[in-house]
Structure 1
């Protein structure tokens, strides 16, 4: 269910890419920076606010609210009358859509124990990476055959279906919120039975001395910035994740240029080459999903039954080899004299490298911080990550 939520955000952010110039032409936009903004404005700072808010109000409520916010404004994008309205609606829809990514990782950390978390996160991390593959394929055919407004209507329709199912089956998972609700129920029951005490002392293990509402909200909103500026792990992981995401979205715009410009394919046929990226992402994900927990369990047994988050980084070694190898093959062979399947092989390797890196760092951060962040170079954290992590007040007891 969580994967279904986070799948829609990258689909929406990337589906518009093949149609951006067509939309720009209709609105009379000639500035390439503005054209690029039509796609990138979806990358709004929603995670910085919605992620911490899920620790105050609960995962389920904020997840549902973020998805509802996204689908309302994404639907509004289809009715934009000029580029200013479209940019504004894209920003607002991205605020909710990207916020889903920050909340979903926390849900996985709430539900699964470390030794069971690998396969769940492997499935989950496939969604935000496979979405940018499905989106451009659909967007390319829409751009060639139909009205560009369907790039907004189609994902909104799916998001509505996900929202309805989620309302029925999605439950709260955040332990402090669950215990707070239980304590509130006990206090009410005790107050009813003990008439003289209207506020019996029933507290949870998560209750602190300062429980004023404004203090709770303030701490939740400030925590991501404190983690970033105080934690070397988060800073390094964020830099590497920025590189991976930058490479991914660079590919989203480069693939049509390669196969339309060099191989003279139509827009729809050129969009089918995104399948190569999907093969790399989904194929390797299915393999790693079955091995992540196995490797973690074996290394934990060798360490006397004590697991470490650094055990998750082993799969980054092949990932950091496959990613540059795929980039080299794609760039070196993208020529008219070379068959089109060869660049596609490079694209497959790029997808494989991305998913291995993404899965490893996602589980590492969930295990170490139970928060959302990004990645780092594997050799540094495989050899020295435990030492760096133990200097962190937030992750040293992981």
Structure 2
């Protein structure tokens, strides 16, 4: 669990570290003309996040978590290193996309690992530790890279993260252990067959058709089954997509706010990202405890039977908190109020966002435990597509509307989705799960 938690932040961190360096990258690689093309240097990494889990999540349910995680991390390492040597905008875009593809491994597999290792009563705190990576990584990355750009060169952003990733890759060879029950039992069955000569031994997870073609086909189509037939996954994916899209939209314009409007240097402006990271840390600690306490209390009142819907009530609080934070940040930035006030707003936004994220991610794991990796891969497609798309119009939107009205609009959208969604889960979640073949199947053999 610890190694997976270390692997997870490095790809989201890499996704946003280029934000302070976008002007220098655009200059050196001749990315001129449309601001959208410049923003794509940042967001195309997240497009890789959308595609990668669709392959990596199902593969982990075929070959186990460890092999897929290590292979994806190596893929990320190679193309992230190549990004530091890019000489053209085409090379940069390609390397960023491919490194994002590999970087999606820990994101896709992390929820599945939590479902493998922790009981429902323990998943809130475990999810808090894991989720700090996908959400705090994009916030902390620009803080580090701001000083790298100012003191060294933007290419060292890629090389330093590659060195760090190489160290984690080596640690993973020694400390990562398999957690996926079907893989563990399958290995045990094969070992017992060799030891006893009894070829009739099988595990509860064995199926009639165990050919490689059948296994791969089932695994590859499973995320699309979730996307097309699972309303719970669709609703969760939409809400997560909104949160992720707003995050990357803010990240795209955050650096320029402090450099252009507040007159700070690249290095000093990066320190403002601490406000987002601190908000996420506070949200993880407060949210995790509230989620687990709420779950245990409702389980006790329900005759000892725990339900995934017991995770949801915190969203009814955290969604409005996120809205208040966005509004405070937007209007204080609009009028260039003392730096502490917009940082306070972004802190409040981060705290509310991560609390909601914990609840819905844990709800997804509780509902689809056995196929959590595929369910998360399906939700990640929604999430990462908006994370890719939102930054492309960020500069134009803020130029036209200003910080105040632009962030108020985002806050309003967050409110109209963030409040009805948990109410739908609370009222209809049990019915939707009962009608879901994937949820029933996961429950039967859990």
Aligned twin of 1:116: 122
2:163 is the alignment partner of 1:161: no
Aligned twin of 1:11: 13
Which portions of structure 1, spanning 4 or more consecutive aligned residues, are displaced by more than 4 angstroms? none
2:424 is the alignment partner of 1:380: yes
Aligned match for 2:39, one of 22, 36, 59: 36
2:157 is the alignment partner of 1:151: yes
Alpha-carbon distance between aligned partners in 2 of 1:147 and 1:391, rounded to the nearest angstrom: 55
Aligned twin of 1:23: 25
TM-score for the superposition, normalised by structure 1: 0.95
Gaps of 5+ in 1: 192-198
Bigger mean CA offset, 144-153 vs 331-340 = 331-340
Alpha-carbon distance between aligned partners in 2 of 1:268 and 1:226, rounded to the nearest angstrom: 46
Over alpha carbons, which structure has the higher Rg? 1
1:378 partner SS:
helix
Alpha-carbon distance between aligned partners in 1 of 2:275 and 2:87, rounded to the nearest angstrom: 36
Alpha-carbon distance between aligned partners in 2 of 1:94 and 1:337, rounded to the nearest angstrom: 35
Deviation of 1:389 after TM superposition, in Å, equals: 2.0
Alpha-carbon distance between aligned partners in 2 of 1:330 and 1:102, rounded to the nearest angstrom: 31
Aligned match for 1:131, one of 125, 134, 137: 137
Alpha-carbon distance between aligned partners in 2 of 1:223 and 1:241, rounded to the nearest angstrom: 20
Alpha-carbon distance between aligned partners in 2 of 1:258 and 1:389, rounded to the nearest angstrom: 44
Bigger mean CA offset, 144-153 vs 253-262 = 253-262
Gaps of 5+ in 2: 384-417
Deviation of 1:100 after TM superposition, in Å, equals: 2.0
Bigger mean CA offset, 252-261 vs 239-248 = 252-261
**Aligned counterparts, 1:269-348, within 5 A:** 269-336=268-335, 338-348=337-347
Bigger mean CA offset, 89-98 vs 50-59 = 89-98
Asked if the contact 1:4/1:162 (under 8 Å) is kept, the reply is: yes
Asked if the contact 1:262/1:335 (under 8 Å) is kept, the reply is: no
2:437 is the alignment partner of 1:393: yes
Deviation of 1:261 after TM superposition, in Å, equals: 2.3
- Greater relative contact order (CA < 8 Å, ≥ 6 in sequence): 2
Aligned twin of 2:410: none
**Aligned counterparts, 1:84-233, within 5 A:** 84-191=90-197, 200-233=199-232
RMSD between aligned residues: 1.5
Asked if the contact 1:263/1:336 (under 8 Å) is kept, the reply is: no
Deviation of 1:337 after TM superposition, in Å, equals: 5.2
Deviations 1:131-184 (A, max 9, x none): 011101011111222111111011111111111111101111100011110000
2:255 is the alignment partner of 1:256: yes
Alpha-carbon distance between aligned partners in 2 of 1:335 and 1:316, rounded to the nearest angstrom: 28
